[in-house]
Amino acid sequence: MSTITEEPSFLATRRGKLTLVLLCTAAFLDFVDSSIVNLALPAIQREMKLSVTTLQWITTGYLLTYGGLMLLGGRLADLLGRRRILMTGTAIIGIASATAGFAHHSELLIGSRFAQGIGAALMLPAALSSLTTSFRQGSDRSTALGVWGGVGGLGAASGLVLGGVITQGPGWRWVFFVNTPVAALLLAAIPLLIPSDRHNEVRRGFDVLGTVLATGGLMLLVYALVEAPDRGWSSTRTVLELLLAAALLAGFVLNEHRISNPLVPLSIFRVRGLAAADITQMLVAAGMMSLFFFVTLYAQSVLGYGEIKAGCAYLPFSATIIVVSGLTTKLVPRFGTRPVTVVGAAVAGFGILLLSGIPTHGSYVQDLLPGLMITAAGSAAVFVANTTAANAGVAADKAGLAAALLNTAQQIGVALGVAILTAISVSRTDSQLAQGHLPLDAMTAGFRRALLFAGIIAALGAVTALRTVSTRGEAAEPVAEPQIDKVAVQQS
């Protein structure tokens, strides 16, 4: 009689531990880059004498290529090899960061930020798919995905802390320079720890039309969302851009239906709970990242905090992320991902709603700290549990795509949330000024209104999370490819 033996723990080995550290360091580098530049923008503007319109492209340029190319990056990891794409993305980030640090004119700096976004779009899905395919055993998988989810929230919050400290310390250029030695270390370690998967060569025609439609649609969508608060949501240009983005994405879906070698095999959405997990990630990320945006503005513009003080205001947030992420890795195997995600989203929404009561003459301990820590606790639980749920049941050859879908949803959520909530905030502030309120009171009223809606958006994640799969982190059975796809491949 044959006996079933449990797969040995890779995480228990020295190589397994080093692999997890490596992949989470890559993720941390990407997540930090999304926020570390924010507190350096005033210093960059002063030194380079940039207009506000030019300055915003330092952030917008990164978001465009990061969000727009993520889907392509994930699929390339599946088709060309995860290690190869991970190294390519890391190299691009390292070179682009050095170029940004040495830049003495806005064109080079903005161009470098576009390049950083390209590198991140390749690096992040390749790293996450490498993690999900390396750690297959149940407890290993749960722990590894838990650490990854915690690193995501920690990186976003730590970027604000590091950005403030570095800008007032060695200067804003080091916000970019710090990436280069980290990227160099990663490039040295990746070939030693991540096995080559070059057998995933593209042996048939690549979906060029699908790539153009998806990339163009996503980039145009992110661009329209970022620019809408300044131009106005009802402006002709904004409406046309959104309509064109919708048309490109609709064309992309139609194209994927009709060809045998799609960029995004739509069969992936047959994985139970995948779409719900992506939507949940989008909603909670929209709420949390909008919190960073408005609370940072409130701390600096209303409370008068400097860069370092504003950044350090998020230290308890980061600490809470670390603690709760570790706790969540213990809760998921016991209760499953669905209940943890539902409760986490509700808690995150409640924390943001607490912050929507900030007064003009507020204090950190009374008015900011409780909401920040509650939001951090809820967000950490969501990102750990939901990342695990989003990767459950995904076949190894679709792991990069699943990672890209989750992170694309997150980036679109951030862009959409900040764009819509900025419009709400500005509208409220203008209304208050028209009624004769003092500027600081009017500005605070705008922030309160935006945070109110941010809390509601995050809390909606608890509703969508009800449709996610409830896994306890066990290794999922691979999803078989539909037979029709194999026939189509043989005929192509």
Q: Averaged over 155-163, what is the pLDDT?
A: 80
Q: What percent of the chain has pLDDT over 90?
A: 41
Given a cut of 70, whether residue 198 has pLDDT beyond it is no
Per residue in 403-457, pLDDT (tens digit) is: 888 988 888 888 888 888 888 888 899 999 999 999 999 999 999 999 999 999 9
pLDDT band at 173 (very low <50, low <70, confident <90, very high): very high
pLDDT band at 204 (very low <50, low <70, confident <90, very high): low
pLDDT band at 301 (very low <50, low <70, confident <90, very high): confident
Q: Is the dihedral of CA 423, 377, 175, 180 positive or negative?
A: negative
Q: Extract long-range pairs of 44-50: CB within 8 Å, 24+ residues apart.
A: 44/109, 44/172, 47/172, 48/104, 48/105, 48/106, 48/109, 50/106
Identify the pLDDT of residue 205: 57
Identify the pLDDT of residue 202: 52
Identify the pLDDT of residue 341: 96
Given a cut of 50, whether residue 487 has pLDDT beyond it is no
How many Cα atoms are found within 13 Å in the side-chain-facing hemisphere of 372? 26
Q: Where is pLDDT greater, at 32 or 483?
A: 32
Structure tokens at 435: 């009624």
Identify the pLDDT of residue 21: 93
pLDDT band at 118 (very low <50, low <70, confident <90, very high): very high
Residues with Cβ within 8 Å of 142's Cβ and at least 6 positions away in sequence, in order, are 329, 332, 333, 388, 472, 473, 474
Answer for the pair 96, 6: CB distance below 8 angstroms, yes or no.
no
Identify the pLDDT of residue 154: 79
Per residue in 17-39, pLDDT (tens digit) is: 999 999 999 989 888 887 788 77
* Nearest of 133, 155, 153 to residue 144 by alpha carbon: 133
* Nearest of 345, 367, 373 to residue 454 by alpha carbon: 345
Mean of pLDDT over the chain: 85
Identify the pLDDT of residue 492: 33
Per residue in 320-352, pLDDT (tens digit) is: 988 998 899 889 888 999 999 999 999 999 999
Given a cut of 70, whether residue 293 has pLDDT beyond it is yes
Given a cut of 70, whether residue 478 has pLDDT beyond it is no
SS (H, E, C) 32-59: HHCCCCHHHHHHHHHHHCCCHHHHHHHH
- Tell me how far apart the alpha carbons of residues 94 and 176 are, in angstroms, rounded to a whole number: 9
Q: Averaged over 3-20, what is the pLDDT?
A: 78
Given a cut of 60, whether residue 201 has pLDDT beyond it is no
SS (H, E, C) 337-358: HHHHHHHHHHHHHHHHHHHCCC
Given a cut of 50, whether residue 282 has pLDDT beyond it is yes
Provide the residue type at 73 as one letter. Answer: G
Q: How distant is the alpha carbon of residue 95 from its chain centre?
A: 22
Identify the pLDDT of residue 257: 86
Q: Averaged over 101-127, what is the pLDDT?
A: 93
- Tell me how far apart the alpha carbons of residues 491 and 260 are, in angstroms, rounded to a whole number: 9
Burial of 414-446, coded b for 16+ CB within 10 Å and e otherwise, reads bbbbbbbbbbbbbebbeebbeeebeeebbbbbb
3-7, 9-13, 18-22, range with the lowest pLDDT: 3-7
Identify the pLDDT of residue 55: 77
Q: Where is pLDDT greater, at 382 or 426?
A: 382
Given a cut of 90, whether residue 355 has pLDDT beyond it is yes
Identify the pLDDT of residue 22: 94
Identify the pLDDT of residue 453: 96
Q: Where are the beta strands (DSSP E) in 23-135?
A: none
Given a cut of 60, whether residue 458 has pLDDT beyond it is yes
pLDDT band at 476 (very low <50, low <70, confident <90, very high): very low
